[in-house]
Amino acid sequence: MEKILKTKRKIRFQDCDPFNHLNNSKYLEYFLNTREDQIAEHYDLDVFQYMKKTGLSWVVASNQISYLKPAFTMETVLIESQLIQYSENTLLVEMKMWDEAETKLKAILWIKFIAFDLQTQKAANHSDDLMKLFESVVLPVDQETFEKRTLEVIQKIKSEAVV
């Protein structure tokens, strides 16, 4: 099963500011919508069907994002995502937005999700099936903080550009 999921998206006019840059708040929408599509397609997990069936879903607990280069109106970008950490009731997903050629990193995001029971309105634990899925697709990173990870990714890109 693929661990790094990649999808191309076109940046739409209505999501941009007067400078033709993707609006900062819209990055999160592009990231979240893409991740939902990716896990449905690659892992056969439609979060909305799962919620209807089980009464469980995920809520966003926190976001950490670095905007590195602008995404422009009508530009095609490549959005990649990977599960980097999980526990019995949390998920930590790393997402990156690149230019279409995957040479310029535009943004990097860590998003933490908490499993949530809609009936009790409290955090919930993942099922055994979900834990098995997470175990099969997790791709941990060495850095323990978002800031260190961002620096590492940027340094790697710079070193590959020199070669």
Average pLDDT, the chain: 97
pLDDT tens digits along 54-104 = 999 999 999 999 999 999 999 999 999 999 999 999 999 999 999 999 999
pLDDT digits 0-9 by tens, 111-128: 999 999 999 999 999 999
> In a 3-state reduction of DSSP, which class is residue 54?
helix
Q: Where are the domains of the chain?
A: 5-162
| Other Cβ atoms closer than 10 A to 36 | 14
In the predicted model, is pLDDT for residue 149 greater than 90? yes
**5-162: what fold?**
Thiol Ester Dehydrase; Chain A (3.10.129)
For the residues 8-19, what does the mean pLDDT come to?
97
Query: With left for phi above 0 and alpha for psi between -120 and 50, is residue 3 left, alpha or beta?
Result: alpha
pLDDT of residue 163: 62
CA 93 – CA 96 distance, rounded (Å):
10
- How confident is the model at residue 162, as a pLDDT? 74
Mean pLDDT of 27-52: 97
Confidence at residue 161, expressed as pLDDT on a 0 to 100 scale: 79
Reported confidence tier of residue 160, pLDDT bands at 50, 70, 90: confident
Note the pTM of the prediction, 2 decimals. 0.95
- Among 82, 137, 135, 89, which residue's Cα sits nearest to residue 110? 82
- pLDDT in the model for residue 140: 98
